[in-house]
Amino acid sequence: MHGGTSTGLAGAVRYDLKRLHESWMELFFPRQRGTESSVLGKWRPSSTTGKVAYRAWSAVGAPVIALLYPFALAGFALRYYTRKIDGTATRIGVVGVVLISALAWGGLTALARVRFSTDGFLAVAAAGSVATVAAALAHLTGTRGGRASTVALAYPFAMTALFLPPVVAALYSPTLSQTIFPKSYTLAVWILDNPLDVWNVNTFIREQFTLEGLGYVGMWFALAVPIGWFVGLLVSLADVVRPQ
């Protein structure tokens, strides 16, 4: 356990904020992080101009760190679960990942064969196949590359494997559609009215696309990438604060 956690919650928070601020300072100044046991200690500028720049950058970092810390806390939780999944995937290998994914989505496909039309069954089977390939790619890009490939590729592939089959199944299941589609519509409206309310992007999307039927599949297929990136960045932020 890190030394910052030995004084309770307040000490842990102080430790985390200190690590974040040191990481912020190290963007432009050398030897800022983890210098407690270093002979040289933390680098500090000697010139007047350097001192002004150092203090100004430190002051700018304070509100930035305050905004980032809640995301770091979310990253801690996500990292715990992703490490569990990563550990299991590493032990069973890509073949095991494919088999588990095929078993999970194969069960959904078997259910679709009984309850859905032929078109519904084929659609769910295709979605399960794509999800299985995505799961394999998530494993390969997460284990064969570094952090960049994990964030850029592995997490989006994992989100695709998770989202695609249930959304496709909802096209043919009234029960699933009543759960998935209204919440998806609410999410789509929020995204268009908030993050995408710039440069008429939301207007363009509303004019070009209709959120019905396969539109929901396209929506979640498109969201898998930024959601995967966001999850990956949160986990990376947690690693900056408390490396494992």
Domain that holds residue 144: 73-241
Mean pLDDT of all residues in the chain?
A: 88
Close Cβ partners of 124 (under 8 Å, ≥ 6 residues apart): 108, 109, 112, 116, 165, 168, 169, 172
User: How confident is the model over 201-212, as a mean pLDDT?
Assistant: 89
Rounded mean pLDDT, 125-139: 93
Is 216 inside any structural domain? yes
CB 84 within 8 A of CB 78: no
pLDDT of residue 156: 94
Residue carrying the six token digits 């964030």: 151
Give me the pLDDT at residue 190, please: 94
- CA count, 13 A, side-chain hemisphere, 93: 1
pLDDT of residue 10: 82
Whether the predicted pLDDT of 5 surpasses 50? no
Residue 1: pLDDT above 80? no
Residue 150 lies in a domain: yes
- Report if residue 187 sits inside a domain: yes
Which residues, 6+ apart, have CB-to-CB distance to 150 below 8 Å?
141, 142, 232
Amino acid 3: pLDDT: 46
Q: What pLDDT digit, counting tens, does each position of 30-58 carry?
A: 878 776 666 667 888 888 888 899 999 99
- Averaged pLDDT, 120-135: 93
Q: Which amino acid is at 3?
A: G
Q: Is 147 left (phi over 0), alpha (psi -120 to 50) or beta?
A: alpha
Query: Each residue of 118-127: pLDDT tens digit?
Result: 988 999 999 9
Instruction: Please tell me the pTM assigned to this model.
Output: 0.82
Look at residue 199 and tell me if it is in a domain.
Answer: yes
**Nearest-angstrom CA–CA distance, 235 and 151:** 9
Residue 161 lies in a domain: yes
